[in-house]
Amino acid sequence: MTRLTTISRRAAFVALIALGAAWSADAAQARDWRKIRIGTEGSYPPFNYMDADRQLRGFDIDIAKALCAKIGAECTFGAQDWEGLIPALLANKYDAVVASMSITDERKRVIAFSKRYYQTPAMFVAAKENGSWGSTPEALAGKTIGAQTGTASATYLEDVYGAAATVKLYATQDEANLDLASGRLDAVLADKAVLLPWLEKAEEGKCCQVIGQDVRDPAYFGEGVGVGLRKEDADLKALFDKAIDDIRADGTYDRINARYFPFSLY
């Protein structure tokens, strides 16, 4: 889920920077990392979601478990609303965030990231009867376009499409998709790896299809998705970086990828 806190929330980032700066030298001391607390969202399928038994599942979760196995750590998981993940990390509620969080310059002013563990473009989806629409700002002028709040897609829509179209933001991607399926939205922009499974498997996704071209603007969609970490935990970053290399080298990554997607996310 290529996701990014919106430009309109930059004031919140200032507060987060202050919070991060408030950490004492004692808090920054190296740990043995035999136990790692991981935060995720739990409402962004197929990357992270709750199953019928209220257990966290998805690509992010499987990747995190594989990384913890390589590190040799016992990992515990907690679900957190998307906007609260970085504050919770900085407040020491979690040691790492594995939640399809995009690596962007804005976020890197506040937290550190591992190397990427996946990278996908965003794409537009509209009702099938509107399948001939393009996806440029001119093509979608006058339309109502949705995205999940706090994501790269939300920022991109507000900055690039907001002057000519109505941008409507939602707490979760599922809510945006449901409004598109019910006709309350003209189009949705989200990560390709999130929308394609919805189009192909979800009953409500049968209403819709891809329009226009993939969106890859690195100014908005960053360098890929990584594990979010506190800047002072450089030793933990090194452990995650090595673990990502290890699961890529031994085939673990490819096996997890194949459970969810018919194409490589890396």
In the prediction, which pLDDT does 25 show? 41
User: pTM of this prediction?
Assistant: 0.69
Between CA 59 and CA 68, with CA 64 as vertex, the angle to 5 degrees is 150
Residue 6 scores a pLDDT above 50: no
For residues 168-187, one letter each, b for 16 or more C-beta atoms within 10 angstroms of the residue's C-beta and e for the rest, the string is bbbebbbebbbbbbeeebbb
Q: Determine the average pLDDT of the residues in 64-90.
A: 97
In the prediction, which pLDDT does 38 show? 98
